[in-house]
């Protein structure tokens, strides 16, 4: 273990957790106990038993989100289970509170069957105003999200799909201005056809980009593939209009945009060199990008982004999910729609008035980000 890793572990161990619960009222007198607990609380309980729709007005439901994961696809680390997922969900809860004032709760599940996860989330839903699904592997993540959206009356969003898609679209819009290309005529290659790749492809297409090609570990998603099912089969019908097939390097050749949503080191300098002039590369695997920014730049990429906060152009869903849920909670939104996602992406992009190669997105510390995205969720 290196010195940096030891320092990080020591910092986390010292805190013993980065979030805590804290009451909005104090209990210095017995009359306070009587009001805020028994017998006063009985009046509220009786009211909500008869009028459950009033829970938002009388409880934490108004401003709370459950951050739910089974630990099956954590960052770029893979299936590391609920204990491995816990620090990440705790970190997301911290971001929710710090950036958007939302009380978020890390819920990690020692459960992996879709029906079991759906049942658990539905069972805990009464306490929450929204459900943020996170780090759940495909293909089960697609059915889990779809079912929960259909069966719950609160907003449900799988952040790996839609938070990623929103921030990538915003980054593409502004990066295209830097390289001076028509965004609707871009050739886009997406390395990774899981949750993030699928969500990104669908939102880019909804924005009007038609030439989008994806690849998974077995090669390009095309109509020639006979091993596709579920979401990947659906993607083969709406992407890859040139019907490119074979290994992923073939879709990267002459592409204007390369979006990495796979794993560390998955993109080579030679592949960057094969791209169209003035290329855009987003290597978003965490913690190790598909290609390091300095190597991508040396290979010829003009605009480069990663998912990390220690390089320019952080293309990370932490820019998105606080504002999405802030807007959804404030307006009582029951479903995050495609129109809302497109509005959120264009609103986020608009915060950078004059994009440059090293500045295509605001940072997570920009105070305009959360209210701007929240306003788009109507």
Residues involved in catalysis: 37, 92
Of 363, 297, 377, 304, which Cα lies nearest the Cα of 99?
Answer: 363
286 is in an annotated binding site: yes
Rg of the Cα atoms in the chain: 22
Contacting residues for 342 by C-beta, under 8 A, at least 6 apart: 169, 203, 206, 207
231 is in an annotated binding site: no
2 is in an annotated binding site: no
Helix (H) or strand (E) holding 32: helix 30-36
317 is in an annotated binding site: no
Contacting residues for 21 by C-beta, under 8 A, at least 6 apart: none
**CB atoms near residue 265 (< 10 Å):** 13
Of 89, 77, 152, 144, which Cα lies nearest the Cα of 117?
Answer: 144
CA gap 316, 363 in Å, rounded: 10
160 is in an annotated binding site: yes
**CB atoms near residue 242 (< 10 Å):** 10
Annotated binding site for a divalent metal cation: which residue ranges?
134-135, 160
Q: Which residues are annotated as a binding site for (S)-malate?
A: 286, 316
Would you list which residues are annotated within the binding site?
134-135, 160, 286, 316
């Amino acid at each position: 273990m290196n010195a940096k890793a030891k320092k990080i572990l020591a910092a986390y161990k010292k805190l013993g957790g980065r979030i805590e619960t804290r009451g909005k009222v104090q209990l210095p007198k017995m009359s306070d106990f009587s009001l805020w607990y028994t017998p006063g609380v009985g009046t509220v309980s009786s009211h909500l038993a008869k009028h459950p729709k009033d829970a938002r007005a009388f409880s934490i439901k108004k401003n709370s989100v459950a951050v739910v994961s089974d630990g099956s696809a954590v960052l770029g680390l893979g299936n590391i289970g609920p204990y491995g997922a816990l620090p990440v969900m705790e970190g997301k809860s911290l971001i929710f509170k710090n950036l958007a004032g939302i009380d978020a709760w890390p819920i990690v599940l020692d459960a992996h069957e879709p029906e079991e996860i759906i049942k658990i989330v539905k069972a805990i839903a009464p306490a929450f105003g929204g459900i943020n699904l996170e780090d759940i592997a495909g293909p089960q993540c697609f059915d889990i999200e779809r079912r929960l959206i259909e069966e719950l009356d609160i907003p449900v969003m799988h952040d790996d799909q839609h938070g990623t898609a929103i921030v990538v679209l915003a980054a593409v819009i502004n990066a295209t201005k830097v390289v001076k290309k028509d965004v609707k005529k871009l050739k886009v290659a997406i390395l990774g056809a899981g949750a993030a790749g699928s969500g990104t492809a669908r939102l880019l297409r909804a924005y009007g980009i038609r030439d989008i090609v994806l690849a998974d570990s077995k090669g390009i998603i095309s109509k020639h593939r006979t091993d596709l099912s579920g979401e990947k089969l659906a993607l083969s019908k709406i992407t890859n209009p040139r019907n490119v097939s074979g290994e992923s390097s073939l879709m990267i050749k002459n592409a204007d945009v390369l979006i990495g949503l796979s794993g560390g080191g998955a993109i080579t300098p030679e592949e960057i060199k094969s791209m169209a002039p003035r290329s855009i590369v987003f290597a978003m695997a965490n913690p190790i990008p598909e290609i390091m920014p300095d190597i991508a730049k040396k290979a010829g990429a003009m605009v480069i982004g990663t998912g990390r906060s220690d390089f320019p152009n952080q293309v990370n869903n932490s820019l998105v999910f606080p504002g999405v849920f802030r807007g959804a909670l404030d307006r009582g939104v029951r479903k995050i729609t495609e129109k809302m996602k497109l509005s959120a992406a264009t609103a986020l992009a608009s915060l950078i008035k004059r994009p440059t190669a090293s500045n295509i997105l605001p940072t997570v510390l920009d105070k305009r980000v959360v209210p701007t995205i929240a306003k788009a969720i109507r």
